[in-house]
A and B are shown apart, each in its own frame.
Chain A
Amino acid sequence: MDVLQIVAIGLIATVLVVVVRSQRPELALLLSVAAGVIIFLLVLGKIGSIMDVIKDLAARAGINMVYLGTILKIIGIAYIAEFGAQICRDAGEGAVATKIEFASKILIMVLAVPIVVAVLQALLKLVP
């Protein structure tokens, strides 16, 4: 029962954060970062097995692996950027969080350009 472990880790971390925050707010922030990373690491292995299944299905459907790799990269960037932005927002730095999200959107756009170009080329082939 992984969900019990995760809920237990979250509750313990929350109690400890509340205890520490009244005295040392900066250590409480690092404590919540550590709790977030540990929970993320617990479920990351499962995400990996889901990704293997998706890759297998895509290979069977005959989808070009370049497109799937791009989508996986975009999901990874989104996960990490969201994680960092949430931490910044927790610490009360909404401005830094917004900049992280902005930068990650630009990086995702850069990755998506080849797909957009491919779509446009397919459209141009349709136009006589």
Chain B
Amino acid sequence: MTVPTLDIVDLKTHFFTRDGVAKAVDGVSLHVMPGEILGIVGESGSGKTVTGFSIMGLVDPPGRIVSGSIKFKGEELVGAPPERWRQIRGHRIAMVFQDPMMTLNPVLKVGTQITEAILAHEKVDGGEARRRARESLVAVGIPSPDERLEAYPHQLSGGMRQRVAIAIALVNKPDLIIADEPTTALDVTIQGQILAEVQALAKRTGTALVWITHDLGVVAGLSDRIAVMYGGRVVEQGPTDDVLERPYHQYTVGLLGSLPTRNKRGERLVQIPGMAPSLLKLPVGCAFQARCPRADIACAVEPPVVRPTPSREHRCAHPHVPVMRAAE
């Protein structure tokens, strides 16, 4: 059997604040195979970004990884020395953030920033680094790459900046890219362009991709599998089609139901009552119970992971049974 590119088991990342312990990630298990695109979907505060940061080893105090394991191609990363992290980060695992202005240095030329990423990990001469920088700009669909290498980030449009950020992530041909809401700040036609490039790249290079987003439409079009997060836990995961068509967890059901396209025009949208709980005051047991119409006493204990089929798993005491849905 092939070794998964990423294998996370029962990861817990907690933030120890003055107001209490925020369990941002509380028992997450995920895996990504080589060449696979995994979409992590969740609302704000669901722990999806902290999961991404944990994989990159970027969790800063007061937060820390409390327990669990993150295996990258079989190698344990939790507790790895900083030296090892530096070798991996930006080289074997790369990250693309939501706001490219945050990741690009405003006073350095684009070319300098890309070659820096190469020279940090490999001993190559400047000319070779520059050639590869140009190559990676071409790969993400940037026109006239030679001019762009000489440009500063502020001279580029939002879509171009995000392409540069993706080019930097790609330049070392990593095994895994973590993309955290990379198209959220972009216009739809530009988002379409970026998604097209990423899709083609993943197919061509065999890079595994973790795509973190709140937009179900994007992951539906892009990912092979999806993981739905709520209150620091993965409440449901499985192959994209399967999850979207036969959700087990009531939160997934509610999320899908609240999309305007799933409702009749002009009619009331199906809405999830209430709001997401604070990570500081998560209820004991299922985090969704206060908003769930199916909740009862069984939900007051932490729901175990259930695997109804080999490819699906969920954490719900009262799952929607696919057969029942068909009969409705």
User: Are A and B subunits of one complex?
Assistant: no
- Could you tell me which A residues sit within 8 Å of B by CB distance? none
